[in-house]
Chains A and B, each alone.
Chain A
């Protein structure tokens, strides 16, 4: 039995890998194709649906202008700082909600119901508190990232297996050891999910508030292009944002994970 018992180390077979990637690329090409056809068909006003060629051209133009990098840096700073602040407080609150049943019962519904509320409604207050500069954007992004993180961590704490905690108890673990050796590793998957959602939503928060009222940032820039009807440029900005967001997501996926076979499901 022993030989049959082991399940092979995870990793897709090369054939499957290529099929998957080929289909993904085909999907992207198809979408671009439809876009292009729709653009040239004349069904839409030319400016609304510019050809991908124009968008790529606008991107090149943007990437070569020094001003663009200033906006990029501002938004990058806002997203990074708000993401860190939001996730930090989200983790703290999530830990409290998850470990203290009473507190969780009382306050978690608030967080649940506030979570899907568009946080942009807080912008006027934040503008008054922090001004029109970067800090009101950081605040909005942080508030946005806070919610998915808090809920993810709270759920993560509760799903830590009771028997693993009992094992720790029989080995006389201190509270700190229990947190470090059992709680934290057991919670890596929900934390990673919280981080990914938090990153996406803090980007949205920062961009949206820049778009509303700001002096710099990619959201501000996209807004300017929109107002002046430079749709290709606006879309170019969005594509660049998309690329950066994807990189962030990939990094979280790659580095916030447990050791062990990724594709084989954990045994519980």
Chain B
């Protein structure tokens, strides 16, 4: 697995290329630079985590790449083709509750297929496969209100995967969940990513989560957002949450926190200044 990714990174065009993407917001108090130009290549099957303090523009970056933010500088390329706006090749999973409460688990997952005009039998079959993949077989006829937060987020992930995106973007997908559910769901995401060789970009503020999941962790600075440092996580795959006790794991977490602490402190300081 690791080998395959490494060879890919030296030869092929990147699955996702972020080329000098930048964003400045105009406010009544003047312009605010949310994102300084950011460039990044992600290879097929690679798992990237972007970590940074609140207000570092990581969600802005994600929205630019995912197409929800259309007005930005720079370019986003998928397999060498420039994309702008929401794009079939890029799927997004959000932090908030995003399942449709009036649809069963199965029909939630089948949603993008239904919108694309796929027939009922076919889309249900595909949705069943994905529910199996996220470990929700047997719950296909349940409505979201009957399921837990973790299960609903798994439905949301399966629904995004149903669209077969080349790139999966996840914006703090576990932020609303409790720690144990978060770890178990992390394992699930790892397993899915492995099975599908899914190129994935994860936005998070959880250091352990970044180390547990990613091949590379990008640390972002406090406003204006730019990449401060890239850390390659050289832990063997397949990984799981069981590795968290390991010595190397701890070293990575410590190294990331070293960098992150400075940025997070800046954010905190600014917050206190605003208050006083």
Contact = CB atoms under 8 A, between A and B. Distances in A.
Assign chain B's interface to a size class: 35 or more
Contacts of B88: 172
Contacts of B104: 259
A267 interface: yes
A260 B143 contact: yes
Nearest to B139: A6
A73 interface: no
B148 A5 contact: yes
Contacts of A185: 100, 102
A114 interface: no
Nearest to A7: B146
The residue in A167, A186, A188 that gathers the most chain B C-beta atoms within 10 A of its C-beta is A167
A265 interface: yes
Contact of A171 (B101, B102, B112): B112
A260 B159 CA distance: 19
Contact of B102 (A173, A258, A265): A258
Assign chain A's interface to a size class: 20 to 34
A264 B86 contact: no
A171 B98 contact: no
Interface in B41-92: 66-68, 86-88, 90-92
Nearest to A6: B146
B151 interface: yes
A170 B101 contact: no
B125 interface: no
A266 B101 contact: yes
Nearest to A268: B97
B86 to A, nearest CB: 5
Interface in B88-140: 88, 90-92, 94, 96-104, 111-112, 114-115, 139
Contact of B147 (A6, A164, A167, A181): A6
B145 A172 contact: no
B101 A163 contact: no
Given A9-B146, A166-B68, A185-B100, A171 B115 contact: yes
A188 B115 contact: no
Interface of B: 66-68, 86-88, 90-92, 94, 96-104, 111-112, 114-115, 139, 142-148, 150-152, 159-160, 163, 180-181
12 contacts: A1-B148, A6-B148, A163-B96, A163-B98, A164-B98, A167-B92, A171-B111, A172-B86, A258-B102, A260-B102, A266-B144, A268-B97
Interface of A: 1-2, 5-9, 161, 163-164, 166-173, 177, 181-182, 185-186, 188, 258-261, 264-268
